[in-house]
Amino acid sequence: MNKINVGIVGGAGYTGGELLRILIFHPLVNIAFVHSKSQISKAVSAVHTDLFGETNLKFSAVLSTDIDVVFLCLGHGDSKVFLAENPMGSQVKIIDLSQDFRWQDTEQSFVYGLPELQKKNIEQAQYIANPGCFATAIQLALLPLAQQQQLHSPIHISATTGSTGAGQSLSTTTQHSWRANNLSVYKAFEHQHLGEISQSLSFLQSDFTAPITFIPQRGAFTRGIFSALTVTTALSEQELNQLYTDYYATHPFTHISTSAIDLKQVVNTNKALVYLEKNNDNLLIISIIDNLLKGASGQAVQNMNLMFGFDERAGLNLKAVGF
């Protein structure tokens, strides 16, 4: 199978760096350019220092159109502006990692890129809107229930993300001296990912109107999302485990565990782990991902693999940190 040519726009940030770490070793990819306005002509390894000795790529201000796919790793609101100013041509596939094109009622040309929700549509897509990190973890916890029309009770969510979820620009709440040995809530009840979560659940369960209470938290660690959800259901724990196992049987990165799970099992991987526990009619769902991989760049590469007919796992057999 021939290699494809890939461009990365916004390659100096966290998501751009993760894409580079994956794509440098992807067997079917040639990186044509890495674009950055702030790091022009600098060696990629001077910014992403862990790539020293792995690549001779340099950041460029030039955008080549001789590519098969471009990844947009830009800030929210910037992707629409970039594409308006830099048309890519009809032959170039686009995978956007911002939130600019996630709303399907206004952006019909972009397919919402959650493989566990609509893999076949992704395979045929020209343009992909990559899901948000919290949205990915939370949807993976709920999709099997929505498919079986089982979401009618209020959904309560508490989810904690690492500091990389805030991006690379420094602020008070991302600095180590503030974040270490600390925990805080932000955007309670109104996080921007709530919209795409409801959109996806309604796609599977058309009468979905259950209220969602979402309390996001900043954790004292660098990467990963640990989400804990509660709903009520009359289904037994055994029935639920079978329902979830069946739903994810054809999705290689999402796994159902019958033992309690912890964040280090997924950090540095494209995996999602889900754990279910019943107490009377109350169901606890734990869903964990790496926010930079399954929650961003890893999922973007997974989408690229599907779009080009590659093995869905190509370039994504990554090792968890373990300890």
Instruction: Tell me the C-alpha distance between 228 and 311, whole Å.
Output: 31
Nearest to 283 by CA among 237, 226, 227: 237
Cα of 305 vs its chain's centroid, Å? 15
- In the residue annotation, 133 being an active-site residue is answered as yes
Alpha carbon distance 102, 107 (integer Å): 7
As beta bridge partners, residue 231 has 283
Q: Which is it for strands 212-218 and 184-185: parallel, antiparallel or unpaired?
A: antiparallel
Taking a C-beta distance cutoff of 8 angstroms, is the pair 118, 111 a contact?
A: yes
Query: How many Å apart are CA 112 and CA 273, to the nearest integer?
Result: 21
Dihedral-angle region of residue 89 (phi above 0 means left; psi in -120 to 50 means alpha; beta otherwise)? left
Query: Which candidate in 70, 133, 229, 318 is catalytic?
Result: 133
Residues 225, 134 contacting (CB under 8 angstroms) = yes
Facing residues of 112 across strands?
129
The continuous run of DSSP H or E covering 32 comes out as: strand 29-35
A 10 A CB-CB count for 322 gives 8
Catalytic residues: 133
